A and B are shown apart, each in its own frame.
Chain A
């Protein structure tokens, strides 16, 4: 179940309550999120849409513990994010969150293998175990033959698939995707969306995805609109 009215039951994986996010720029005060509520249960695939500048990225950053809300609470899997200290929040991200960005954000000096291995360096896995996990993740995204390629040697679609492998390799609690197909051509976008759909359908991953692309949004189980600082339900398959 996905709810935006703040009346969700207690067992939601993600619970946002009366969340405000205010930015200050110069003397100007920008209320991006105002009293936003959201409940997402484990295994859901939620798509967020909304005009540019409506606060979609802000919302994902809050959920991923990259930024803290001005007011309100965000609880993920029992942890209230604003209660976590800096190092604890970093460890929490490593444990729970897989990020997929519009611009892929692979480290250019590392190979596909080494990029995907990064999150595993924060686990206790041995070198051999890491190798197995990385190879599994890369074969899942269809790039088992590109282990030693550098990002600049890959197409945009391939880069994004490496980024997806990196996001899932440590088996995080949920994935946050910010316009994952925003920079891709139709074909690559379809490949990436096919992959995300499989992660949801076959592997039961919890996905929260921001997108401008209605075709991408169609694949999600729930579609929410961000409008004037709050979420409204726009459809459910």
Chain B
């Protein structure tokens, strides 16, 4: 039978100061690890929830982002007449042609210019995109130099609050509305009138970047896709918005995750050494107790188990502490460059149960790695010799 867990628990408590070093080391690694995972997940979720499964994003064939895509007014008309498109209350098709421009604004947090995505829209945009609402002010008047600004963009950049008159693209604009996109990528965008924006950036009349179309549901979307891709006048690709944003999020969220693993692995080596030191010291300090247990008839295996349990206990404490430390990050908003759109995107950390579970498992793995050698050493201790030493 095993060495009583009570012995392990009480021994841990007695040596708490020395154990604290190991616990804090592991907690630090777990906190960083969970934070990185929360960042990757938050970034991904922000982009993915920007898309609606009912909406189709139509771009020029082969475009990886809206920025490099070009759609003509004629093509927009073809899409408006295509099958599967949903129609609004006014009977007009729910199709939103949009221009995407990337430009530099002053980024408050880094006190430097950062690239922002400016979207030229028509009055159809709010009807087509789902989950958007005005959080203040009003929508821009078509044909004017008015702006509606995403709530994160308004926070992120200097001079984009409601009523402000920012200058870019060779003219002055006025912010007349704030957009609440529910935490999606649109929250980081600045919206202008498509025609006015196109003029300011010297785009030929009637050229758009992409067309977002509301369909009548999955069947409508399939219908639309077949119709557009079969039309000889068009060479376009049709993605659901969800697919498009999932693709956009993949590179950076994968990168953040890999970085998270790397940082955690490097820090983890340090924490494993911390746990090793603590457990090694514990074994040395308790050599006599170990020898006594062995003399009473406890097997070498049960001694290994007891010290491994002790290491796992410490690492569990560290893991829980690290998760607790990372928890307040949940919902905290930060921003990063979205490498696909080359513009700043704000997103909120998402501390998920999966990330917490992974953090605790990681902690236990570190405890096991650090505790194994000391535990084996405890079991191999020459009993007769340890009993002689005072």
Interface residues of A (CB under 8 A from B): 57-58, 61, 64, 66-67, 86-87, 90-95, 97, 99, 101, 103, 105, 107-110, 114, 118-119, 121-122, 166
Contact = CB atoms under 8 A, between A and B. Distances in A.
Interface string B294-338: 111111110000000000000000000000000000000000000
A86 B300 contact: yes
Contacts of A93: 295-297
Contact of B4 (A57, A64, A105, A114): A114
B344 to A, nearest CB: 56
A109 B14 contact: yes
Contacts of B7: 107, 109-110
B157 to A, nearest CB: 60
B4 A87 contact: no
Contacts of B382: 67
Contact of A94 (B292, B297, B383, B384): B297
B6 A110 contact: yes
Interface of B: 1-2, 4, 6-7, 10-11, 13-14, 288-289, 292-301, 382-384, 387-388, 390
Contacts of B289: 105, 107-108
A110 B295 contact: no
A17 B383 CA distance: 23
A144 to B, nearest CB: 21
Contact of A66 (B2, B298, B387): B387
7 contacts: A57-B388, A61-B387, A66-B295, A67-B382, A90-B294, A97-B295, A121-B4
A122 B384 contact: no
Contact of B299 (A67, A86, A114, A166): A86
A93 B291 CA distance: 13
B4 A90 contact: no
B246 to A, nearest CB: 55
A108 B10 CA distance: 10
- Ranked nearest first, the 9 interchain pairs of A and B with the lowest CB-CB distance are A94-B297, A109-B10, A67-B384, A90-B299, A93-B297, A61-B384, A105-B292, A66-B384, A66-B383
Nearest to A178: B387
B299 A87 contact: yes
A3 B300 CA distance: 35
A5 B384 CA distance: 27
A122 B297 contact: yes
B1 A122 contact: yes
B384 A121 contact: no
Contacts of A61: 384, 387
B384 A87 contact: no
A64 B296 CA distance: 10
Of the candidates B1, B14, B301, the one having the most CB atoms from chain A within 10 angstroms of its own CB is: B1
Contact of B387 (A94, A105, A107, A121): A105
Nearest to B383: A66
B301 A99 contact: no
A121 B302 CA distance: 12
Contact of B390 (A87, A103, A121, A166): A103
B48 to A, nearest CB: 52
Nearest to B288: A105
A23 to B, nearest CB: 10
Contacts of B297: 90-95, 97, 119, 122
Given A107-B7, A109-B7, A110-B7, A118 B384 contact: no
A93 B388 CA distance: 18
Contact of A90 (B14, B300, B388): B300
Contacts of A101: 292, 387
B91 to A, nearest CB: 81
A93 to B, nearest CB: 4
A87 B295 contact: no
A99 B292 CA distance: 9
Nearest to B4: A121
Nearest to B8: A109
B342 to A, nearest CB: 61
Nearest to B390: A103
